[in-house]
Chains A and B, each alone.
Chain A
Amino acid sequence: MSYVTAIASEDSLWRALESFLLLRDYNTRVVVLGAVLLGAAAGLIGTFMLLRKRALIGDALSHATLPGIVAVFMFATISGMDAKSLPLLLVGAAGSGLLGILMVLILRNSTRIKEDSAMGIVLSVFFGGGIALLGIAQRMEQGHSAGLESFIYGKTASMVASDAMLIGLVALCAAGLSMSFYKEFRLICFDESYARSQGWPVLLLDVVLMAMVTLVTVIGLQAVGLVLVIALLVIPAAAARFWTNRLWKMLVIAATAGALSCYVGTLASAMLPDLPSGAMIVLATSLVFALSMFLGPAGGLVHRYRTYRKLQRKIARQNVLRAIFELVEHGIEDTGVPQHIPAVSFEAILTKRSWNRRHLARELRRCQSGGMVVHMGDHHWRLTTEGLAEARRIARQHRLWEIYLISHADIAPSHVDRSADMIEHVLGEGLVAELEAMLDAGKKATPPASPHSIGGKESGDVAHA
């Protein structure tokens, strides 16, 4: 018996998935369209709010909508109007949401309470009040308040065509404003005081942004629920920041990420009808965020780790080259391309730094595959012509920096080697040129003599190949 139901439910699961992916029936189309448009609108407006560093105000706003929704419901029930009319409920939501924001502003501006505490107070008091009202509404004789809970946790499935059209209208509005006020929003988000000095009405632009946040929040209540609608405003925008350093791309990516998350979340909640769609959508956005945080090319963790590894490799390679160079430095003539470059033993290189055998052997092999050194057999290594030029350049940067530290920063010669060790790998052309000018070192390729005795075995056991 249970076997049969399992088959049946699996079958219906597949049918739900299929109808979703192919947008087969009308209801699915309405719900998907509404959710996707909501995600896109939230992504756009959320990007500006994130950059304005006001993202959390949306949370205070959404929690403050609850008493308004319930109060309007009760009022409509008592006065015999259609208590389930969505536009009516949303008007109530917007009204009490804005009242909440107003309270935050009043608390912040006229008392010693700071904005974060003010938001915490307003958010919880309004939400608590709303829950209490909801309890009363559920005991009312007339009407039934069963649908009201869906505003708390969200229920995409309850969306009808007119709701989707309302969302579409708001999304259109969000896109239009983002495009037409692109330049103005960018200015006030980046540098408010400069914007004001130029006479831009910062307050008015903020009000426009805030109005859009209110609209998106209110129309999002039904699908995502008031507890979680903030996620749609914040998470897609935050995820988008990991993909680009350009504002317009960030807007496009945030809108796409929002739309995609809403699609996936709606799909999941349609297939598993017991789970509230708000939670599913938020989980989908967090998935998108996690992916972005790891894989995003603009500051994503993988990218940063790669950059770090690349620098580590470069430092290791340069250290090997400089060590070999310092061993053979006196064996080659100062000018022109040397006729022959002496080879040095593995043991000699090993004494130059505190590295272990395996590490050094690996770095030498890497230098070899890069064409910088060649293995001469019998554990002896030799710089190639190319390797010599590179080694010279590194040794020169190292010593220029040392001389600079000694002559300009009054650091004892015995201490400069270590600090130069870090800097030489990251000196850019500009800095090297400045060092040259300051130290009057000219453009010679030959490094100056080291200002301190070079560590390791001074003579090295240099063998001529």
Chain B
Amino acid sequence: MSESKAPAATSGQAATSANVSPLGSEHLPDAALSIHDMTVAYHRKPVLWDVDIDVPAGKLCGIIGPNGAGKSTLIKAVMNLVPRVSGKVLIFGKPYEQNRHRVGYVPQRESVDWDFPVSALDVVCMGCYGRIGWLKPVSQKYRKLAMEALERVGLADLAKRQISQLSGGQQQRTFLARALVQNADLYLMDEPFAAVDAATERAIVEVLRELRANGKTVLVVHHDLQTVQEYFDHVIMINMRIVAHGATEQVFTPENLQKTYGGKLTLLAEAAHALAAGKRK
């Protein structure tokens, strides 16, 4: 939604004074994304505990952790797609509702039905809907923008193709193009590298670097530990809670990897289970 149409903040918590971060002094005032003491639960079962991080602007940031660690949940909670039990999230110093036009989301590829009757260009145009606003059709101007985004990911030739006729990698790039056309400042990408071909992986990495060169911030849920150091300059390691976060060369260490992947924190998982069971009638 465009800025003017975005609904007003629901409470006074967004009131920020000029130089004091609303989260307190320990948080960076100019962070692209600040999460303060956030706990997230699915059906009352907590899946992420006490997340407390800042992601500085202009970074390529990888989110890594084992299956079920809450990587996707983290970025969904930032966008209010899953309910937060507690905590605060600020995007460039404002609540999500006020700054959502600055956020570009790339969902997991499997989250939609690719047999849907639209073309690749139609999907990319969806990234413009917020700026177009209610009821108005997609004009030529936005089609052109969408074409440019498709060109950036190397799919201009396939713009008119129905999306089920695209390969998995091409579908992933279509999603990426849809986020690009938003011209956002913070990108949240849920496993864009999952099961893609080499050409797509190269294309995506190139786009990520281009985004960083333009001062954008990108958070990427990532699975392949081999490429973490090559792709990301910032890394968030999670396993139901934040294990470590910071510059890749500082936190991407064997000890932290051991803490993230080796041996589940069974106590957290059990406590979550007990909570869910206790509250269910």
Interface residues of A (CB under 8 A from B): 51, 53, 180-184, 186-187, 189-191, 193-194, 196-200, 241, 244-247, 250, 434
Listed by A's residue number, 29 A-B pairs whose Cβ atoms lie within 8 Å are A51-B116, A51-B117, A53-B113, A180-B135, A181-B135, A182-B137, A183-B135, A183-B138, A184-B135, A186-B118, A186-B122, A190-B118, A190-B123, A191-B111, A191-B112, A193-B81, A193-B105, A193-B111, A197-B100, A199-B6, A199-B7, A199-B97, A199-B100, A200-B1, A241-B117, A245-B119, A245-B164, A246-B117, A246-B118
Q: Mark B146-183, 1 if CB is under 8 A from A, else 0.
A: 00000000000000001010000000000000100000
Q: Is the CB of A183 within 8 A of B6?
A: no
**B126 in the interface, Cβ–Cβ < 8 Å?**
yes
20 A-B pairs besides A53-B113, A190-B126 with CB distance below 8 A are A51-B117, A183-B136, A189-B116, A190-B123, A191-B112, A191-B126, A193-B76, A193-B105, A193-B107, A194-B126, A196-B81, A198-B100, A198-B105, A198-B129, A199-B97, A241-B117, A245-B162, A246-B119, A247-B117, A250-B117
Report the minimum CB–CB distance from B172 to chain A (whole Å).
14
Q: Shortest Cβ distance from B181 into chain A, in angstroms?
A: 12
Tell yes or no: B85 within 8 A of A by CB. Answer: no
A110 to chain B: closest residue by CB: B281
Question: Does B130 touch A at the CB level, under 8 Å?
Answer: yes
B69-99 interface mask toward A, CB cutoff 8 Å, 1 = contact, 0 = none?
A: 0000000100111000000000000000100
Measured CA separation A200–B126 after assembly (Å): 12
CA distance A186 to B178 in the complex (A): 15
- How many B residues, CB 8 Å from partner? 34
With a cutoff of 8 Å between Cβ atoms, the chain A residues found around residue B76 in the complex are 193
Cβ of A105 to closest chain B Cβ, rounded Å? 16
Q: 10 tightest CB-CB pairs across the interface, nearest first?
A: A245-B162, A199-B1, A197-B105, A197-B79, A247-B117, A191-B112, A190-B116, A198-B130, A180-B135, A199-B100
Report the separation of the CA atoms of residues A190 and B200 in the bound assembly, to the nearest whole angstrom: 23
Q: Which residues of B contact A244 (CB under 8 A)?
A: 117
Contact B81 A434 (CB under 8 A): no
Is residue B8 within 8 Å, beta carbon to beta carbon, of the partner chain? no
How far is the CB of B167 from the nearest CB of chain A, in Å?
10
Instruction: Give the residue of A199, A247, A434 whose beta carbon is less than 8 angstroms from that of B130.
Output: A199
The answer to whether B81 touches A187 (Cβ under 8 A) is no
B1-39 interface mask toward A, CB cutoff 8 Å, 1 = contact, 0 = none? 100001100000000000000000000000000000000
B111 pairs with A187, CB closer than 8 A: no
Q: Is B267 an interface residue (CB 8 A)?
A: no
Chain A residues near B1: list those with CB within 8 A: 198-200
Residue of B nearest to A112 (CB): B280
CA distance A250 to B7 in the complex (A): 34
On whether the beta carbons of B129 and A191 are closer than 8 Å, the reply is no
Instruction: Kindly state the separation between the CA atoms of A53 and B115 in the bound complex, as whole angstroms.
Output: 12
Check if A194 sits within 8 Å of B107, measured CB to CB.
yes
Q: A67 vs B142: C-alpha distance in the bound complex, in angstroms?
A: 50
When C-beta atoms are compared, the residue in chain B nearest to A196 turns out to be: B81
Smallest CB-CB separation from A182: which chain B residue?
A: B137
**Neighbouring B residues of A194 by C-beta, 8 Å:** 105, 107, 126, 178
Interface check B276, CB cutoff 8 A: no
The one of B100, B112, B199 in contact with A190, judged by C-beta atoms closer than 8 angstroms, is B112
The answer for the CA separation of A190 and B116 in the assembled complex, in Å, is 7
Instruction: Give the distance to chain A from B112, nearest Cβ to Cβ, in Å.
Output: 5
CA gap between A200 and B2 in the complex, in Å: 11
Q: How far is the CB of B109 from chain A (nearest CB, A)?
A: 11
When C-beta atoms are compared, the residue in chain A nearest to B137 turns out to be A183
B residues in contact with A191, CB < 8 Å: 107, 111-112, 126
Could you say which residues of chain B place their CB within 8 Å of the CB of A245? 117, 119, 162, 164
Residue B103 CB within 8 A of the other chain: yes
The listed residue (B107, B136, B199) touching A434 by CB distance below 8 A is B199
Q: How far is the CA of A181 from the CA of B138 in the complex (A)?
A: 12
**Residues of B close to A193: CB separation below 8 A:** 76, 81, 105, 107, 111
Min CB distance B270 to A, Å, is 21
Q: How far is the CB of A257 from chain B (nearest CB, A)?
A: 15
Query: Contacts of A182 on B, CB cut-off 8 Å?
Result: 137
In the bound complex, residues from chain B placing their C-beta under 8 Å from that of A246 are 117-119
Using Cβ atoms and an 8 Å threshold, which residues of chain A touch B116? 51, 189-190
Residues on A with beta carbons closer than 8 Å to the beta carbon of B80: 196
Contact yes or no, A183 B132, CB < 8 A: yes
**Separation of A246 and B80 alpha carbons in the complex (Å):** 31
A199 to B81, CA, bound (A): 10
Contact B81 A197 (CB under 8 A): yes
- Nearest Cβ distance between residue A128 and chain B, in whole angstroms? 28
Taking the closest CB of chain A, its distance from the CB of B72, in whole angstroms, is 10
A181–B129 alpha-carbon span in the complex (Å): 12
Instruction: Name the distance in Å between A239's Cβ and chain B's nearest Cβ.
Output: 13
> B129 to chain A: which residues have CB within 8 Å?
183-184, 187, 198, 200
Complex interface: chain A residues within 8 A of B132 (CB) = 183
- A186 surroundings in chain B (CB, below 8 A): 118, 122, 126
CA A247 to CA B117, docked complex, whole Å: 5
Within 8 Å CB of A184, what residues of B?
Answer: 129, 134-135
Q: Quick one: closest B residue to A251, CB to CB?
A: B117
